[in-house]
């Protein structure tokens, strides 16, 4: 098939009645590079000046924005049932690859008002199938205790963002949090209460994330790790201190803590200037996680 002139493609997209966005995903913050007039009917045009994940968060909430971010980082296709401005849509995400490309530089997002089944029953079945597919995917990527990403899934996300930062000569920040005197807490309260503690700490950390492109995971028993695209080390230190305070403010009783009567976390901040790093992403992450924080 012959190549189509860009102007022709822009006219085709502009004439499409479905809201459509085209997003550049090989640049930081995933800027929107094209939006058709139909998209402007569901949101203010000012939203388009924000990163793609922030656009989704504004339209459909933080939880869906996090799921969309995971889909894009995984280079997957997805169809997600969403509600925006009291209307139901099927948000279809599709990577756009040129010949010979292994990694997509662009994504298309379509807000579809129908599923193609023609009936309400068919639409309901389609949504149920989509949820089942997402659940199967999540089982392989989620930590079963906290629902956060597991170590393997986090490594995949970090490798992708590392490659983008390398191209853009950017920096990435990692903050590792360690539950202090975790073994003593486990001895007092047992496994079930400890799992509940881990879930609440994980949720507290997740609530503190500043944008949908930030990621938190539980790579092992008593540690959490946050990936941020912030490059200012002082700002990242303040961000980490705020999370530490949020965990303490949960008020989870820890009778054997030597420093506080509540569950607390210590943290370590690492800011990588990716373009100057001799190690690759996995080597960098492996070295960071090999450091045991008591």
Percent of the chain, pLDDT > 90? 34
pLDDT one-digit tens code per residue, 36-91:
888 888 877 676 777 888 888 888 877 778 778 878 888 888 888 887 777 778 88
DSSP 16-59: -SS-EEEEE-SSTT--EEEE-TTGGGTS-GGGGGS-HHHHHHHH
Q: How far is Cα 29 from Cα 27, in angstroms, rounded to an integer?
A: 6
Provide, rounded to the nearest whole percent, the portion of the chain with pLDDT above 70. Answer: 85
Q: CB-based burial of residue 57 (10 Å sphere; 0-12 exposed, 13-18 middle, 19+ buried)?
A: buried
* 224, β-bridge pairs: 177
Q: What domain count does the chain have?
A: 2
Number of alpha carbons in the 13 Å side-chain half-sphere of residue 100: 0
Q: Let me know: does 166 contact 275? Beta carbons within 8 Å.
A: yes
Q: What are phi and psi of 253, to 5 degrees?
A: -65, 130
Q: What's the CA gap between 231 and 6, in Å, rounded?
A: 36
Contact 213, 226 (CB under 8 A): no
Can you read off the two tokens belonging to residue 262?
Answer: 């509540």
The residue behind tokens 């009291």 is: 86
- Residues 211 and 163 placed together within one structural domain of the fold: yes
Q: Residue range 220-242: average pLDDT?
A: 91
Mean pLDDT of all residues in 168-183: 92
Whether 119 has a pLDDT exceeding 90, the answer reads: no
The mean pLDDT value for 220-249 works out to: 92
What is the predicted pLDDT for the residue at 131?
A: 59
CA distance 5 to 9: 7
Q: Are residues 184 and 263 in the same domain?
A: yes
- For residue 283, being part of any structural domain is answered with yes
Q: Identify the DSSP state of 142.
A: B
The distance from CA 178 to its chain's CA centroid, rounded to whole angstroms, is: 21
Of 106, 141, 176, the residue that ends a domain is: 141
Residue 1 lies in a domain: no
Q: Please, how many CA atoms are within 13 Å of residue 246, restricted to the half-sphere of its CB? A: 18
pLDDT class for 126, splitting at 50, 70, 90?
Answer: low
Instruction: Answer yes or no: do 159 and 87 share one domain.
Output: no
Q: 42 and 30 in contact (C-beta within 8 Å)?
A: no
Q: Which residue has the higher pLDDT, 33 or 225?
A: 225
Q: Are residues 127 and 161 in the same domain?
A: no
At residue 184, the pLDDT reads 94
The chain-wide mean pLDDT, for the chain, equals: 83
Q: Which residue has 């402007």 as its token pair?
A: 40
Kindly report, residue by residue over 212-225, the tens digit of the pLDDT.
678 899 998 899 99
Strand positions, DSSP E, 144-189:
149-150, 171-179
Beta-strand pair 215-220/149-150:
parallel
Q: d(Cα 143, Cα 217) in Å, to the nearest integer?
A: 8
Of 63, 37, 59, 38, which is closest to residue 50 (Cα–Cα)? 59
Q: Mark whether 242 and 220 lie in a shared domain.
A: yes
pLDDT of residue 118: 47
Same domain assignment for residues 22 and 39: yes
Beta bridge partners of 89: 82
pLDDT tens-digit series, residues 132-168: 555 545 556 788 899 899 998 899 888 888 888 887 7
CA 78 and chain centroid, separation: 15
- Which tens digit of pLDDT belongs to each residue from 251-284? 999 999 888 899 999 999 999 999 888 899 989 9
Please choose, from the candidates 142, 201, 146, 162, the residue with its C-alpha nearest in 3D space to the C-alpha of residue 286: 162
Question: Rounded to a whole number, what is the largest CA-CA distance in the chain?
Answer: 71
Edge-to-edge strands, sheet with 20-24: 32-35, 20-24, 106-112, 87-96, 78-84
- CATH number, domain with residue 177: 3.30.70.270
Residues 25 and 90 placed together within one structural domain of the fold: yes
Is residue 153 within 8 Å of residue 69, measured between CB atoms?
no
Structural domain that includes position 48? 6-141
Please, which residues bridge with residue 272 across strands? 172
């Amino acid at each position: 098939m012959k190549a189509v002139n860009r102007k022709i493609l822009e006219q085709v997209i502009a004439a499409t009645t479905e809201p459509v966005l085209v997003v550049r995903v090989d640049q930081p913050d995933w800027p929107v590079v094209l939006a058709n007039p139909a998209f402007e009917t569901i949101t203010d045009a000012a939203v388009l000046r924000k990163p793609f994940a922030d656009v989704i968060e504004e339209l459909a909430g933080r939880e869906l924005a996090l799921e969309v971010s995971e889909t894009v980082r995984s280079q997957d296709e997805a169809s997600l049932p969403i509600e925006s401005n009291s209307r139901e849509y099927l948000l279809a995400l599709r990577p756009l690859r040129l010949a010979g490309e292994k990694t997509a530089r662009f994504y298309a997002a379509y807000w579809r008002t129908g599923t193609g089944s023609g009936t309400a029953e068919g639409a309901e079945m389609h949504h149920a199938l989509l949820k089942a597919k997402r659940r199967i995917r999540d089982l392989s990527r989620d930590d079963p205790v906290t629902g956060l990403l597991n170590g393997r899934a986090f490594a995949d996300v970090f490798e992708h963002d590392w490659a983008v930062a390398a191209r853009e000569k950017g920096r990435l920040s990692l903050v590792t949090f360690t539950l202090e005197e975790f073994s003593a807490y486990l001895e007092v309260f047992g496994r079930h209460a400890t799992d509940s503690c881990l879930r609440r700490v994980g949720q507290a950390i997740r609530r503190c994330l500043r944008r949908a492109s930030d990621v938190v995971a539980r790579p092992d028993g008593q540690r959490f790790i946050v990936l941020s695209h912030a490059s200012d080390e002082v700002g990242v230190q303040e961000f980490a201190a705020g999370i530490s305070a949020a965990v303490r403010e949960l008020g989870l009783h820890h009778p054997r803590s030597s420093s506080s009567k509540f569950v607390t976390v210590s943290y370590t901040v690492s800011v990588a200037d990716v373009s100057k790093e001799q190690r690759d992403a996995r080597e960098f992450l492996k070295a960071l996680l090999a450091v045991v924080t008591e």
